[in-house]
Amino acid sequence: MCQSCHVRTVSTYRTAAQVDQRGSGKGQPVLTTHAPQAGQGVTLPTTLDEAVAALTAMPAAVPVAGGTDFMTAVNSGQLRPAALVGLGRISEIRGWQYQDGHALLGAGLTHARMGRPDFAALIPALAAAARAAGPPHIRNAGTLGGNIASAAPTGDALPVLAALEATLIIAGPGGARREIPVSHLLAGVEMLRAGELIGYVRVPLLHAPQVFLKATGRTGPGRAVASVALVLDPARRQVRCAVGAIAPMPLRPLDAEHWVAQLIDWDKGRVIVPEAVNAFGEYVAAACIPDPAPAEDGTVQQLPPAVLHLRRTVAALARRALGRALS
């Protein structure tokens, strides 16, 4: 028999007073279902360099911004971080600034902030992706940098950044800054080193239509089944397109981009024949979801119906995205 259960009244509520009493009265740790060990080493730096210093000083610490992916893993017991470095108080990365034709977006920008009209006037596709990125409470917490760092295949900002050919400004120990293309990080060509943090995302300001379209399983917020980001770059006479959620990282159908860019009459109001828009959709879809290689005996393999449907979805998204960008 245990000695501590003489009292058998069941209080309907675990009030703060009860918990305190129990904690202090017996000198035992307070019982809670939510990882108390994370509370031990939380640092809340106010500048990027402080954050980097904190991470360098304690290599086991995990940086956390919105925590929308991270905290679910902690609360379900899958992650037990030794310490946390909270990035929420670093005001320098929560806004954006302009730099020779580019916008320097702070990694701490929330989806809610990016979804607002002033930001949408600047980088429309990123704003559309931010608005589509989940229910309001997730958008209020989740950040641009977090979306890149967790690099989930369904991350909505990722195809937009890939299409914009954004670069990341990484803050390292001792005030060091280096720049890497976002695609390099997502593809694992270059990795974040110990103590490094994503500080800013450098995005070109293109002053032309941009579209982000996403297919989900329901009308309400949901993870992307497939998404397409398409941006026009009139200065370089380019169309850049990235397809998200169908592969571990966004895919760029470069051939389709070059092909369709030639067909656009850039000087006379950016017009294109409707057939080319349709063909562009098919081209993008076939590039991202290729037909399977013929079998050894030469028989043509069929894609499974679900994959064919995904290909059809990508084609429709790409066609609609180009149509809207040029309309």
Instruction: Write down the least CB distance from residue 121 to another protein, Å.
Output: 17
The yes or no reply on residue 219 touching another protein (CB under 8 A) is yes
Does the protein bind another protein through residue 33 (CB under 8 A)? yes
Residue 5 as a binder of another protein (CB under 8 A): the answer is: yes
Token reading at 55 = 């991470």
Q: Are 317 and 224 in contact (CB under 8 A)?
A: no
- Would you count residue 261 as binding another protein (CB under 8 A)? no
Task: Verify binding: residue 89, another protein, rule CB under 8 A.
Answer: no
Q: State whether residue 75 is helix, strand or coil.
A: helix
Please state whether beta strands 96-99 and 83-86 pair in parallel, antiparallel, or not at all (unpaired). Answer: unpaired
Q: Does 298 bind another protein (CB under 8 A)?
A: no
Cβ closest to another protein, residue 223 vs residue 270: 223
Question: In terms of CB distance, is 271 or 307 closer to another protein?
Answer: 307
Binding test (CB under 8 A) with another protein, winner from 89, 137, 184, 309:
309
Q: Could you give the 3-state DSSP secondary structure of residue 148?
A: helix
Q: Give least dist CB 219 to another protein, A.
A: 4
* Residues binding another protein: number (CB under 8 A): 44
Q: Does 194 bind another protein (CB under 8 A)?
A: no
DSSP 156-193: SHHHHHHHHT-EEEEE-GGG-EEEEEHHHHHHTSS-PP
Q: Are strands 197-204 and 177-181 parallel, antiparallel or unpaired?
A: unpaired
Regarding 113 and contact with another protein (CB under 8 A), the answer is no
Query: Shortest gap between Cβ of 185 and another protein (angstroms)?
Result: 24
Task: Please report whether residue 8 would count as binding another protein according to CB under 8 A.
Answer: yes
Nearest to 197 by CA among 51, 33, 18, 27: 51
Sequence-ordered list of residues with C-beta below 8 angstroms from that of 137, at least 6 positions apart, any chain: none
- Is there binding between residue 293 and another protein (CB under 8 A)? no
Q: How many CA atoms lie within 13 A of 44 on its CB side?
A: 5
- Listed in sequence order, the residues at least 6 apart from 99 whose beta carbon sits closer than 8 Å to its beta carbon are 202
Residue type, 112: A
Q: Is 308 in the site for another protein (CB under 8 A)?
A: yes
Q: Which residues bind another protein (CB under 8 A)?
A: 1-2, 4-14, 18, 22, 31, 33, 35, 76-77, 128, 131-132, 135, 213-223, 305-306, 308-309, 312-313, 316-317, 320
